[in-house]
A and B are shown apart, each in its own frame.
Chain A
Amino acid sequence: MSGPGDELVPEGGTSHARVWPVSAVWGVLAGASVLGFLFAEGMAPARIAAIAAILLAAFKVNLVISQYMELEWRHRPLRLMMAAWLAAVTALLLGGFLAT
């Protein structure tokens, strides 16, 4: 699919990344942030609120990686490394929280 900016793609490079509109991404990220805040402010019991906050953070980071950074799964191994980092950090926060 040709379009503006094709001249910037070196010869032989024709792969494309599918991305959402920026404002849509922002809307989802902002909404998730406000939701996490409301949970922490008392909208839900503490345990549920904290778990929700951690999972929402993981969701947001994944969205930033895929939509803002535009790292796609075909960008292995980098995308795998980022996913592993996110999984490890999420597990760390969840495990650390649930252990107390």
Chain B
Amino acid sequence: MHDLTDKLRPGAEAAHDAPASATGQPGDSGVWVFIFADMCGFAVFFLLFMAGRMENLALYESGRELLDLRLGLANTLILLTSGAFMARAVRQARSADWVGARSSLWLTLIVGMLFAVSKGIEWGTKVSSGIGLLTNEFWTYYYVFTGIHFLHFVIGVGVLLVLIGRCDKPIPQADKLRWIESGGAYWHMVDLLWIILFAMLYLLRAA
């Protein structure tokens, strides 16, 4: 991607050894409890969906066929790109390049907002064609799981705005880094959950 490569400076772009915190994992140790608990919650959602699909394959396939795979792919690429900027922000923060980190966070947010636009178009199209939460089990799960995922996305937007504000604050660098790593981990969780949702909802074409 031409623009992406142009924007990257050698320090942030090249493969490098990124110093990790002495406590081990990036970010605040406790936030990983939230992240893992949330992932487990979504695992239950995946279980519900697959169990329902096993019981009523024809219903689920008829629903899947009405999904716009191109929009699903667009959503995926948007979140992956946004995630790339987030990853870059963390690496810049580790190098104490707070100006760069701030820019990367803004790019994370701006690109990420395209996800909101895309979901709005997708849901709007479905609703206006009469497909709602209670249409059938497939659509219930579709709206609920993508809706709860979108709620996580909205919270992530709030987190990004806080992180952007923190870049300029005169607080200890180690604290700022921990905030950005923690926020980054959350944002990547939003990303990885969508990767599974995209495969599960859109791509499992029945034989």
Given the interface contacts A41-B69, A47-B207, does A70 sit within 8 Å of B26 by beta carbon? yes
**What chain B residues lie within 8 Å of A1 (beta carbons)?**
17
**A–B Cβ pairs within 8 angstroms, 16 of them:** A5-B18, A13-B20, A16-B18, A18-B15, A19-B18, A22-B8, A33-B195, A40-B203, A46-B207, A53-B204, A57-B196, A64-B192, A89-B43, A92-B47, A93-B199, A96-B54
CB-contact partner of A92 in B50, B86, B88, under 8 A: B50
**What chain B residues lie within 8 Å of A11 (beta carbons)?**
22
Contact yes or no, B86 A68, CB < 8 A? yes
**What chain B residues lie within 8 Å of A85 (beta carbons)?**
36, 39-40, 43
Q: Which residues of A contact B (CB under 8 A)?
A: 1, 3-27, 29-30, 33-34, 36-37, 39-41, 45-47, 49-50, 53-54, 56-57, 60-61, 64-65, 67-72, 74-75, 78-79, 81-82, 85, 88-89, 92-93, 95-97, 99-100
- Identify the interface centre among B87, B96, B206: most chain A CB within 10 Å of its CB: B87
Complex Cα gap A4–B100 (Å): 14
Distance in angstroms from B14 CB to nearest chain A CB is 6
Given the interface contacts A36-B199, A74-B24, does A69 sit within 8 Å of B185 by beta carbon? yes
CB-contact partner of B73 in A15, A33, A57, under 8 A: A33
Q: Which residues of B contact A (CB under 8 A)?
A: 1, 4-5, 8, 11-26, 32, 36, 39-40, 43, 46-47, 50-51, 53-54, 57, 69-70, 72-73, 76-77, 80-81, 83-84, 86-88, 90-91, 94-97, 173-174, 177, 184-185, 188-189, 191-192, 195-196, 198-200, 202-207
